[in-house]
Amino acid sequence: MAPALLLALWAADPRLAEAERLRAQADQLARAGEYAKAIPLAEQALALRDAARGPKHPEVAESLNDLGSLYRETGDYTRALPLYGRALHIREAAFGEKHLAVAETLHDLGELDRLMGNYDQAEKEYQRALSIREAQLGPQNAQVAATLNNLGALYRQMGSYDRAGMLLLRALHIKEAILKPGDPSLATAYNSLAVLYVTIGSYAEAEPLLERTLAIREQALGPAHPSVATALNNLAQLYSDLGAYERAEPLFARSLAIREAALGREHPSVAGSLGNLVVLYRAQGQFERALPLAQRALAIDQKVHGASHPDVATDLNNLAELYVSLGQDQRAQPLLERTLAIDEATHPGAPHPDVAQSLENLANLYLLEGAHARAEPLVRRALAIREAVLGPGSRDVADCLVDLARARVLAGHGEDALPLLARALDIWERVARIVQNVATESRMAAFSRTLRAQQELLYSLAAERPHDRDAQRLALALALLGKGRALDVAADTSRAVRQGLDARDQAQFDRLRTVRGRLAGLALGGPGTLAPDRYSEQVRKLEAESEQIEKDLALRSAALGVQRALPPPAQVVARVAGALPDDAALIEVVAFRPYRFRARGVQAERWGALRYRAFALTPGEKVQAVDLGPAQVVDAAVRELLHGLTRPDADWRPAAQRLHRLIAAPFGTLVGDRKRWLLALDGQLHLVPFGALYDGRRFLIDQHEVTYLTSGRDLLRERSGDRRSHTVVVVADPQLDGALPALPGTRLEAEAIRKLLPGAQLLMGAAASEPALLALQAPGVLHVATHGWFLEDEAPPSAGTRGLHLQAEVGAPTRPSSLLLRSALVLSGARPGHAPRAASDRPDGMATALEVAGMNLWGTQLVVLSACDTGRGDVRLGQGLYGLQRALVVAGAQTLVTSLWKIDDEATRTLMEQFYRNLLGGADRAEAMRKAALALRTRRPHPYYWAPFQVLGRTGPLGGAPGAAIPPLPVTH
């Protein structure tokens, strides 16, 4: 208030001036989020005005409204309600029912009733406030926008998403037209709309709004304001829904800490934060950690709201779900029944998502107990609600379909489950494509994990019904579309940058490469002279910057529509079958936990141990499947085989025969005498050299040509957009530090290749550098012969190999957080124990997979990594290997040749020379390697020498052009 007016008030009645001063102070504290400190000042102001003006004066109503809002913010709803009621009565009597002061109280009272769960009452109050404000102020006003925003938030809670969206968008457009970009009121509009988008699964639209909300509030209100806590909480909820739990948890924790400090430990907002952490921890399997938080949240909400509030229902549900996870169904059932009763009383007669969730959770408990007759009507009712409210394509609808399929299996009608799971697969695929359009590789992998348990139910049903062709076809469709999805995200973004985006995006991608290089230097060099805290801070900063650039590029590439167009689930099997060569068979392997549909009781072991299952597809769309047995048994056989193959003096035969019996023989029963096997593997089977499997008389390589794929859908990759290059670059014999062993065979290998391909460019010695390799622009053939390493090495390699023992020779202190920093090629200038290059772009001679992924190999027909361990990596179920092989696919290479162990220098030189001779003779890329291996086997019979290399990717001979480094060769189409 102006000083002159204060003086006038003081002259008239000192109490009024003091009340105005106290009210101003309370308002300032409230804006800072310090509601508890503001309350006593507001109470004093009210008392002074009441004494000076009398109990029915409009100024008293103003103070009543102020104090009611402070109590509301602190969660003391029972004290707030009569204050608002009294303020409304005074204002209506003093000004009439259509005054702006009346609208203010109605707006605030509507917010209180919304928080208390009195939705019908809140709607009436908001509607009255909106009508008054629009009539008095016009449609383009901040107060009108505020009521539109709150009414939209109410409709979201009521499940009326279409109405909510229209009002929230209208509120945002008004605020954007009349407010400055950094106004906190604008952030409120962003936040409300974003929460709606998260609720309906529109994650791409939600995330930028939530990020903008957080930035505005932190800048305008400071980092410890309760509104900042709300923004953190909502952004964390988005990450949690996408399965990015490691990103969500610190945001939830920070939000909780702010709320506890600003609002007190028993505020309902604190209970909300606790509940979100409970859901997060339960999703991660941390049940004991979640339990006390769930109990605390319930105690807070029951104290604040009483026993029948919607928030109490949420707390009861969270606690019951934990009890179910802990096998305590007797404790869970009454809580779930009480939850359903509260939700039905809160939303009588109208379909609401909360009611559907309660129905589904109770039905799920009945299913676990084997009571399918009790469960099925609840699931069907939940499904009807969700379809009515959310539409038929919602993720929540898919959840209901899965539960209904479980009920039908329990009822002995497994055939009824199949169309339900087919519908669920359509929904999963639709949602996955939405996420894929905006996700980074890591986010897509995290999201895929959120669907894994439900999708394993489909694999389990197919395993239970081995003679049901429709079941096998549907499960294969799931595998074809779902495996390796994160790799597609990275490759699509890379292709967009290299082939479709503008100079700004290219510059951003170059920045990404720089950041990744610095991150690699820090990760491999260790802290050096940096203090541990400083080192960790720099790593986190670079990781965050890399993630942000990746996300921006993904959004840009999605906007241009450059993602690979995949067929729908009902068509994908036919499309892949149509892309198969006539003499080939696709064998798609999945690792999954079988679900025991008929296990009774919550405490029953519902998920079996991991198993492998193979699906075979041949031209003509014939689909067959076979169980390969427990992963524990198969993986042990893989380890035994690799132990025998990776040591030239070891006996490999028993292990090779055992794995042939476990894996290759079942494959053979599926595909018969087809010569060409296209293998899309999973789990530890990625590490198997199938050509070295032995039936006691012959190796598999004697009968079959094997090509590896990341997924059978690789056969659908568009070829028309790839520029075909015809140059050849050989990088070999780098100039190494004296502590690293020389590789004379690599120089001979490079010279032999140039004799065969006279136009080849050789980069050797000092020229075989990290910058030179990473700067290459899509050569037709890239051959790299040097040392390679993979971080899981436990013992130094044998002399004469192209491998390094990382701990001993490279000096990396720990396993880096990024999976693509655990594999690398060694180039000129590499030195052990190098210092971190935190503020430098100087090359360190180590081309990590993370850096290789940023190369431009779109148009490169063949990449050969003639080095140790280049085909190894960290195995992620359903997502493949994370290592150099993956990086080269992301970079755009059509076909890769990589190694599974530490290769012999001299034998590899001989193998590679013969490989290129075969290519020049017009052989298919996989057949060229097969023939080279067979030739080497006549001189070096142990598979250690001839079997380490895999051919992954596109088949067919290399294509050449007149006058090019690659001579004209037959080309398959």
CB atoms within 10 A of CB 392: 14
In sequence order, which residues have a C-beta less than 8 Å from that of residue 495 and are 6 or more positions away? Answer: 557, 562, 721, 858, 892
The pLDDT score that the predictor gives to residue 951 is 96
Residue 172 burial (CB count, 10 A)? 21
**Encoding tokens for residue 884?**
């150099």
Positive/negative CA dihedral, 81, 85, 86, 88: positive
Residues 6+ apart with CB under 8 A from 516: 546, 850, 851, 853, 854
Alpha helices, H only, 705-758: 744-756
Contacts of 247 (CB under 8 A, 6+ apart): 236, 239
Alpha carbons 931 and 702: distance in angstroms, whole number: 10
Q: Which amino acid is at 275?
A: G
* 545: nearest Cα among 513, 521, 506, 501: 513
Instruction: Return the closest-CA partner of residue 266 out of 30, 77, 37, 32.
Output: 77
Interior angle at CA 548, CA 286 and CA 721, nearest 5: 110
| H or E segment and range at residue 404 | helix 395-410
DSSP annotation string for 607-626: B---EEEEEEEETTTEEEEE
Say if CB 67 and CB 105 are below 8 A apart. Answer: no
Q: How far is CA 586 from CA 29, 51, 471, 857, 927, in A?
A: 68, 87, 18, 26, 16
Q: For residues 642 and 944, give the distance between their C-alpha atoms in angstroms, rounded to a whole number.
A: 9
C-alpha span between 434 and 914 (Å, rounded) = 46
Q: Hey, which bits of 744-841 come out as E strands?
A: 761-765, 781-785, 788-790, 823-826
| The pair of three-digit structure tokens given for residue 553, joined into one six-digit string | 């590029």
Q: For position 8, what pLDDT does the model report? A: 58
Smallest CA-to-CA distance from 165 within 143, 142, 194, 122 is with 194
Q: What SS3 class is residue 737?
A: coil
How far is Cα 760 from Cα 729, in angstroms, rounded to an integer? Answer: 6
Amino acid 970: pLDDT: 45
Which pLDDT score, from 0 to 100, does residue 971 have?
A: 39
Strand order in the sheet with 862-866: 622-630, 611-618, 584-592, 676-680, 705-709, 949-953, 895-899, 862-866, 781-785, 728-734, 761-765
User: 275-290 burial, b for 16+ CB within 10 Å, e for fewer?
Assistant: bbbbbbbbeeeebeeb
Question: What residues of the chain score a pLDDT lower than 50?
Answer: 562, 720-721, 793-797, 801-814, 834-839, 961-963, 970-973
Range list of H helices, 500-531: 503-525
> Of the candidates 595, 627, 599, which has an alpha carbon nearest to the alpha carbon of residue 457?
595
Residues counted in the chain: 973
- Please tell me the distance from the alpha carbon of residue 116 to that of residue 311, in angstroms, as a whole number: 9
- d(CA 807, CA 207) in angstroms, rounded, equals 41
φ, ψ of residue 704 to 5 degrees: the values are -135, 145
Provide the pairing of β-strand 846-848 with 823-826. Answer: antiparallel
Distance CA 838, CA 539 (A): 9
Torsion of CA 793, 795, 799, 805, to 10 degrees: 40
CA 298 to chain centre: 30
How confident is the model at residue 821, as a pLDDT?
87
Query: How far from the centroid of its chain's Cα atoms is residue 82's Cα?
Result: 47
Long-range contacts of 411-419 (CB under 8 A, 24+ apart): 411/372, 411/373, 411/376, 414/461, 414/464, 414/465, 415/468, 417/461, 418/461, 418/468, 418/470, 418/471, 418/474
